[in-house]
Chain A
Amino acid sequence: MKSFRSRRRNPMGPAIDFDVAVIGGGIMGCSTALNLAGGGMRTVLLERRGLCMEASGVNAGTLTHRTGPVSMQPFYTRSIAMWKNASQWLGDDVGFRERGGLTVAFNEKEAVRATQDFKLRKQQEVEIELIDGDRAREIEPNLSKHAVLASHFPRDAYANSSRTGYAFQKALKSCGVLIMTNSEVQGFESGDGGYCIRTSTGQVTAKRIVISSGAWVRKVVAMLGYQFTDAVAVRVNMMSVTERMPKLFSTLITHANSGLTLKQPDNGTVLIGGGWQGRGDPYTGQTDLVRENVTTNFRLAHSVFPGIEATRLVRTWLGFEVRLPGDEPMAGPLPGISNAFLIGGFQSGWTGGPYIGRLMADLMLGRDPELPLFDPSHAFRRASVQLNTPNEAADELSVKDPIH
């Protein structure tokens, strides 16, 4: 391995030394960096645009215990507790509101599903109740008269994901993390001391790296000479928001069939989510709505609250959410090297970020993570033996996004 005896000078100034470089400023990267810095590591966070502007800032901010696969429940429960407490550890409450939630059913089939789901959850969440349509309409007077059944979850909550980047920018700065935004990683050189990382705004050196690059992970790992064994996919999640309107509802609404989230925060806008897919390419930045999905998403919203037809749609966003091979998340060391780590690919990553980032940092700080992490090694094959020869994939995947 090459040593750093003849170290190239950083064109921006003298060579900078960090204990860790986190590559990718979404919730996973931000949370990991915050905890690493808290544990005493000199940390730099490299982000090609701005913190939490991609999937981490473009999601419905839903915080319920019904998120994600059942096996992940312990992680999400702890993470939601952290969101509730964000003003303590993050210095910003990120608009957290515990308004309770209703999962609504409109027919027999949906009612059966809702009831089954309810029974499963009742084992863990004592306060929840199954209620009929009339009782649901007492809680939400504008609820459709066609709703026949609902589960009521008094602890359901949500926060404002578009504030996440702002909160972490402040917290990371005050922890002494160097945040390099508008800095796209272009290549690595590794040596005895760790890594020399070339970015679009200059060079940094770090003993360790954490790759938290979300939808762009394939390009970054390719720079290290790694390839995934199977396809990395990208979900293109649609979120919509209406103009402000008079108060229509106050709880968090979901649907028995999933496919709908509705919130009306204090400012009166209505946020419509549900994971309906658009089309898009993270490397060009082009996104496109799938009209049928918009239609269905909004018809579901309208079925719940007919009053929503009186307002106007003001904006939609399409956010890129990575799905790693096998749909399995990763949080652990890259196979074969002791100082490169990967974190990402979580369903509802925004919900789980605060806690999972802490676990990741614990692992790297030599502490015992409270819950087991997710070993990435099964998903990789080495493209080449030399670490310093990035494969062609890295060059093919040039980011052509013409808009910042």
Chain B
Amino acid sequence: MGLCDVSIRIEGNVRRGPAVDFTVDGTTVTGIEGESLATALLAADIRRLRYSPRSGTARGIFCMMGSCQECLVRVGGNAVLACMEPVRAGMVVSLGMKP
């Protein structure tokens, strides 16, 4: 982690915005400003975003449209859906902990 994994970002169709750094549970991750936090995390090989509360099973992106609530993480202490949240420089992301 710490490097942009360019192999899942498709090149050629878009000119992306600037690369920015943010933290995930204290570790620095690089993403592209404005892209969905969910896919930025995926690009950094962070697939597990939280655990389900009753059985403690790992969860990640599922619907990508703000419906399923599976990608719920905390940004700056606030509960947000990673799929609907744009990446910003310096954002402080906390992933869900095992219950």
Contacts and interface: CB of A to CB of B under 8 A. Distances in A.
A267 interface: yes
B50 to A, nearest CB: 11
A310 B79 contact: yes
Interface string B41-75: 00000000000011000000000000000000000
A267 B54 CA distance: 8
Of B53, B54, B77, most buried by chain A (CB within 10 Å of CB) is B53
A312 interface: yes
A268 B53 contact: yes
Contacts of B54: 267
A244 B53 contact: yes
A267 B53 contact: yes
A284 interface: no
A271 to B, nearest CB: 16
Contacts of B77: 310
B79 A312 contact: yes
Contacts of A310: 77-79
Nearest to B69: A243
A243 B53 CA distance: 11
B79 A311 contact: yes
A243 B96 CA distance: 14
A8 B98 CA distance: 63
Interface residues of A, number: 7
B79 to A, nearest CB: 6
Nearest to A314: B69
Interface in A292-316: 310-312
Interface string B63-97: 00000000000000111000000000000000000
Nearest to B79: A312
Contacts of B79: 243, 310-312
Contacts of B78: 310
A239 B32 CA distance: 42
Contacts of B53: 244, 267-268
Contacts of A268: 53
Nearest to B97: A246
A311 B72 CA distance: 12
A239 to B, nearest CB: 21
Nearest to A269: B53
B48 to A, nearest CB: 18
A312 B74 CA distance: 12
Contacts of A244: 53
A124 to B, nearest CB: 39
A244 B99 CA distance: 11
Contacts of A312: 79
Nearest to A310: B77
A394 B82 CA distance: 53
B72 to A, nearest CB: 8
A268 B77 CA distance: 18
A268 B78 CA distance: 17
B80 to A, nearest CB: 10
Nearest to B74: A310
A243 B54 CA distance: 13
Contacts of A243: 79
Contacts of A267: 53-54
9 contacts: A243-B79, A244-B53, A267-B53, A267-B54, A268-B53, A310-B77, A310-B78, A310-B79, A311-B79
Q: Which 5 A-B pairs have the closest CB atoms?
A: A244-B53, A312-B79, A268-B53, A310-B77, A311-B79
Given A243-B79, A311-B79, 8 more contacts: A244-B53, A267-B53, A267-B54, A268-B53, A310-B77, A310-B78, A310-B79, A312-B79
